[in-house]
Chains A and B, each alone.
Chain A
Amino acid sequence: MTALRNLFSGREVLYFLLLAVLLVVVLPLALDAFRLNLTGKYLTFAFVALGLVLCWGYGGVLSLGQGVFFGLGGYCMAMFLKLEASDMASTARQTTPGIPDFMDWNQVTELPWFWEPFHSLTFTLLAVLVVPAVFAFVIGFAMFKRRVGGVYFAIITQAIATILTILIIGQQGYTGGANGMTDLRTLLGWDIRTDDAKQILYFLCVFLLLLCLVLAHLILRSKFGRILVAMRDREDRVRFSGYDVSGFKIFVFCLAGVFSAIGGAMFTLQVGFMSPSFVGIVPSIEMVIFCAVGGRLSLLGAVYGALIVNLAKTSFSESFPELWLYAMGALFIAVVLAFPNGLAGLYSRYLEPLLDRGWANVRSRAVAVPPAQEKTS
């Protein structure tokens, strides 16, 4: 019990439960099917933001290529769904029936070998986790072992995002090109386009997100998390103390990649397609801003950041499309200049002390006048 208490402070549990109630109870009750599905889409970006809190906020490693992992996860999922949507009946019109439509248009007459295993859902789910992890490991290993960090790492991840985008668009016979993989319909025969299915997928997404939150929290609370922070602040000292700094960085980068990939897979399921427009630099940097707005040191903040920025984007661009970019740009600048720790920073600096005082007042009064407690509760 005390071990548990060490891992979760009372307040953290409270905040976590508040978020869970918001996502599981309040939003589904308050929003119609359309808005709930949108929220689900926003939440998939929260996975990426969560990963960024770990690797940027705590590890000090800023990746501007998280879209790569989001895309890898999303594409793995999309490949499975696309194969299922390309059954003999619905592709009878093609020159080669039974392969995805975009392959047929590009004179691909046989399913490429790397598509074959994606007939299996088990393999696909594994691939969603393993492919990005391996990819992140290769990048991380090459870079962190040579102590490339900071700005250099950011720029190289950007270049990788560019390469992957050009590749996906250029190899359209295998990837669907710029159009992406569209018209995904069923998951093991279950129609994912209906309102009911979307609702279930929303809850699945929330569940996975909460799971990732707990996992990330546990990691930060462990010794590993403390080393991470120490490393971010004084890397040389940690190294001199005998720790393998690069190993920790690689791990946290891989973890962030896997989180992003889960988000990508959930995105594909909920939105019904995947396209290279999520892999490039622009979406990758946007994902960083979700994390920065929420607060780069706050796991819960990342979730709120993703929700709030996207909500603002949707409603702003509905009413003042031309002002949206100004607002977004100003947000970037403001978050860097005025409140570097984001909403979470603002909360703990201004709101929390107020609440504390309020809480303390209530408590002291409750102690002094016991009957009052009954009334208030």
Chain B
Amino acid sequence: MKSSLFKRVLRSKLLPLVAVTVVVVAFFGITTNGFLSASNLRSIMISMCLSGMIGVGMSMLLISGEIDLASGYEACMGGIITALLIKAGIPWPAALLITIAAGAVMGGILAFLVNKVGLMGFISSMAMISVYNGLDYIVTKAQDVTITAEHASFYSLGAGTVGFLPIPFIIMVVLMIIYGLILYKTEFGRTIYMTGGNRAAARLAGVNRKKITSILYINNSAICALAGSLVAARMHCANAAACTSGSIDAITAAVLGGVSFRGGDGNMGCLFIGVALVTFFNSGLTASGLQSYWQIVVQGLLLVVALCIDFVNERSRQKALSQVAI
């Protein structure tokens, strides 16, 4: 049993990624000052959370063969809703619950467009980017919505710690564990893989794809809204620009980690490594003094690299397929 686990680790595609992450950490650790300091490590953990949490819902969608490009904007909307509710005097736990419910509604809209109207998730979520982004600016009047110090108990959700670990990091890891278990151990998780792996075959084997993907869209947007709230808690305010890079960051991290862009493959371990790699990389670039606009460029290039790796994987799969004798 032990040896088979050892073999699985060896054969797993996670291993090279862990190695790359170690190299990245070592490189920036040596070349820049204070990269491996406790405070920087903690801030890296915190900055993992937005893409990490969005990545949880996004990975589930990707594995099922769907995608939500508007995730970052849903997070943004979530942060704004929380901030406005708290400002209006609603206690933060209630505000958080309402925000998550609002997220679920946003996901419901996508689920409706994809499964009832029959549009592609890629296109419909792209359209929703604009809708949410515009609404964010209208609702906030392009200003920060500040969460004042009287609601300081809410701040700890964004940057508080338990021991060494930041609370949002713990929330992210707990989510990854829960969804990891759902994927690996439950009937629902299995059907996600089957649907993503072969839609037609899954349907003919009795899997209800529409139900599954609807749940996943709603789930994703709800998690996004929560993630946005945590960002607002950390920043003590919300605005229309806060989380907008969330979608691309999450997709980059997930795909880089080995969640297949074409569906049917990936897990939460992949996502975690992907998020860690991307965040260490970005933080290292900041520490080495690279201009932040260049970081955006690098971020895009990283996604290209991730997609290339995914493409090569897919091609070797197809090749494996064609080599099977008739």
Chains A and B bind each other: no
Q: CB within 8 Å of B: which residues of A? A: none
* Partner-A contacts on B (CB < 8 A): none
